[in-house]
Amino acid sequence: MSFTSLTFVGFLLIVLALYWLARRQAWQNIILLAASYIFYGWLNPWYGVLLGLSSAADFFIALGIARYRNRSRALLTLSLLLNLGVLAFFKYYDFFNVGLVAQLAKVGVHADVFLVSILLPAGLSFYTLRKLAYILDVSRGAFQPVENFVDFSLYVSFFPQIVAGPIERIQKLLPQIQLPRTWKPEFFSAAWPLLVMGVFKKVVVADTISAVVDRIFGMQSPSKALVLAAVLGFTLQILADFSGYTDMARGIALLFGFETSENFNKPYLALTPSDFWNRWHITLSNFLRDYIFFPLRRALLKKRTLPAWLVQAIPPLVTMFVSGLWHGAGWTYLLWGIYYGVLIVIYQSSGIQVNWQQSNKLKVLIAWLVMFSLIVFGWFLFRAPSIAWAGQVLFQAAWLTKPQDAIIALMMLAMAAVYSFPLILKMLLDRFSKPGSWWLAAYFAVITIVTIVYINSSNPDFIYFQF
């Protein structure tokens, strides 16, 4: 069920009516939990079963960790094996399956039985990290386990966030789940701009750009000019698509009285790789920082025999490798993760990270141009169908293979510029106009009309659904 479909609009209106008529917090939570499972299991009810079983397992494991401290390590290991095992099976089965069948064929073994394709449940990567963060916090005594199964299940399955985040921490969401909630007009007034902006980003910007981007990345031997234009288009597309989803998720949560985390903070204005990851997919970056980077760095600092440069280099390399691994089963994702790990190490070890952020305006502009170029190249690695395809484009493809390439590339760049303008204008209005100004009102009126015009031609799926 997509946020931009009429089915979802009808579903949301029914749930909102039942939810606010219930008045009592306990009934509101039950209604919201039931709605979350209906939403998640709309296309495949078995995914709802998987969600319920995994939530129940972690609920009782967390209680066990708190009550039986002598067995906490074993229970933590059990939770890690269950969560990471399920995630690895669904996420990487098809990737390793193809290679396994090919290797068996070389020795004369026909393994047709292994050719069954496994469909990744939408949102599995996101709600798995939510549960892992909860279990890890309970195991180290930073958070007491939740004793109400409905409240915990609602935290895990909260439908505005379950498919593509944000990866909300239980410390932020659970207190809101446990408090009484009554309707306030401010909920709608705060939610409406987020909903309008989110739908606009998705329907008008991301889906329009994707038609050309997907076509170019689907070509076997495109020219460098075409790919460069497509990568710039994808740079806009993925930001509009993913941040658009987050805006809608936050807006829907506000309609139910919940304040949720921001996931983006002008990421393309970053001056360094670390700055980019502090602005892009913020809740994932926070998870990787708190549960991989910092623990690994602390462990390495205790080993006084290791050289300082190695202690500094290993944590970002491992953290970004895990980020690439989390994003998908493909060598391009791993290469993309390693690429950012190397960039972070280079910036930190060379002193650029500090120097460029404390320089004059000209140096800051140069720093931004360099970092934006590095971001665009990163999206090239991320979006490339394969490493071989990326290598062919980089080292073998001509800049122009036929005259039409220049025309198509210029059209793509023009589209990216035109569809970037509303997002840049919104950023400027947020910075320079006063809240409630007529400029903002006029802006939202225009983008609402434009969105209505585009709505029937949109793609219901979001890019990050596949991760």
- Whether 227 and 118 map to the same domain: the answer is no
Q: How many domains does the chain have?
A: 2
Rounded distance between C-alpha atoms, residue 213 and residue 242, angstroms: 16
For the CA atoms of 379, 381, 383, 386, what is the dihedral angle to 10 degrees? 180
Among 130, 149, 183, identify where a domain stops: 183
- Cβ-proximal residues to 363 (8 Å cutoff; 6+ apart), any chain: 356
* pLDDT score recorded for residue 116: 46
pLDDT at 465 over 60: no
Q: Which pLDDT band, with edges at 50, 70 and 90, does 357 fall under?
A: low
Rounded distance between C-alpha atoms, residue 92 and residue 329, angstroms: 5
171-198 pLDDT, tens digit each: 999 999 999 988 998 999 899 999 999 9
- Cβ-proximal residues to 234 (8 Å cutoff; 6+ apart), any chain: 209, 213, 217, 379, 383
- Whether 239 and 165 map to the same domain: the answer is no
pLDDT > 70 in the chain, percent: 90
Active site residue 110: no
Nearest partner of 51 among 152, 195, 197, 144, judged by Cα: 152
- Asked whether 172 and 143 are in contact (CB, 8 A), the reply is no
Rounded distance between C-alpha atoms, residue 279 and residue 262, angstroms: 10
SS3 assignment, position 467: coil
- Asked whether 425 and 436 are in contact (CB, 8 A), the reply is no
- Whether 124 and 205 map to the same domain: the answer is no
- In the chain, the amino acid numbered 217 is F
Q: Which pLDDT band, with edges at 50, 70 and 90, does 330 fall under?
A: confident
- In the chain, the amino acid numbered 465 is F
Cα torsion angle, 171, 31, 241, 330, sign: positive
- Whether 234 and 135 map to the same domain: the answer is no
* pLDDT score recorded for residue 291: 93
Rounded distance between C-alpha atoms, residue 159 and residue 165, angstroms: 10
* pLDDT score recorded for residue 460: 55
- Whether 129 and 76 map to the same domain: the answer is yes
Among 183, 201, 219, identify where a domain stops: 183
* pLDDT score recorded for residue 353: 57
- Whether 460 and 359 map to the same domain: the answer is yes
- Asked whether 181 and 209 are in contact (CB, 8 A), the reply is no
Q: Supply the mean pLDDT for the chain.
A: 86
DSSP assignment of 409-448 equals HHHHHHHHHHHHHHHHHHHHHHHHSPTT-HHHHHHHHHHH
Helix then strand then coil, in percent of the chain rounded to 5, is 75, 0, 25
End-to-end CA gap in the chain: 17
413-464 pLDDT, tens digit each: 898 899 999 899 988 888 887 777 788 888 888 888 888 887 766 555 555 4
pLDDT at 105 over 60: no
- Whether 126 and 219 map to the same domain: the answer is no
Which is higher by pLDDT, 456 or 153?
153
pLDDT at 358 over 70: no
- Whether 446 and 412 map to the same domain: the answer is yes
User: How much is the pTM?
Assistant: 0.88
- Whether 375 and 242 map to the same domain: the answer is yes
Cα torsion angle, 121, 123, 125, 129, sign: negative
SS3 assignment, position 124: helix
- Whether 164 and 201 map to the same domain: the answer is no
> Which of 201, 250, 279, 327 is labelled catalytic?
327
* Region for 108 from its dihedrals, namely left if φ exceeds 0, alpha if ψ lies in -120 to 50, beta otherwise: left
**Domain membership flag for residue 102:** yes
Among 161, 183, 205, identify where a domain stops: 183
For the CA atoms of 407, 413, 417, 423, what is the dihedral angle to 10 degrees? 140
Tell me which H or E stretch contains 363.
Answer: helix 361-383
CA distance readout (Å), 454 to 69, 230, 235, 242, 368 = 57, 22, 21, 18, 33
Domain around 223:
187-466
**Domain membership flag for residue 456:** yes
pLDDT at 113 over 50: no
- Whether 157 and 201 map to the same domain: the answer is no
- Whether 194 and 179 map to the same domain: the answer is no
- In the chain, the amino acid numbered 46 is W
Rounded distance between C-alpha atoms, residue 71 and residue 81, angstroms: 16
CA distance readout (Å), 119 to 39, 105, 214, 412 = 18, 24, 22, 33
**Domain membership flag for residue 1:** no
* pLDDT score recorded for residue 117: 47
Average pLDDT rounded to a whole number, residues 301-307: 80
Running DSSP on this structure, what letter comes out for residue 4? Answer: T
Other CB atoms within 10 Å distance of the CB of residue 140: 12
Nearest partner of 444 among 187, 241, 249, 193, judged by Cα: 193
212-260 pLDDT, tens digit each: 899 999 999 889 999 999 999 999 999 999 999 999 999 999 999 999 9
Rounded distance between C-alpha atoms, residue 461 and residue 467, angstroms: 12
Residue whose pair of structure tokens reads 């709802």 in the numeric block: 48
**Domain membership flag for residue 25:** yes
Other CB atoms within 10 Å distance of the CB of residue 401: 14
**Domain membership flag for residue 372:** yes
* pLDDT score recorded for residue 129: 92
Cα torsion angle, 374, 328, 277, 256, sign: positive
* pLDDT score recorded for residue 97: 61
Q: At what angle do helices 331-350 and 361-383 cross, to 10 degrees?
A: 160
71-87 pLDDT, tens digit each: 888 999 999 999 988 88
- Cβ-proximal residues to 412 (8 Å cutoff; 6+ apart), any chain: 212, 213, 216, 226, 229, 230, 232, 233
Out of 64-68, 133-137, 279-283, pick the least confident.
Answer: 64-68
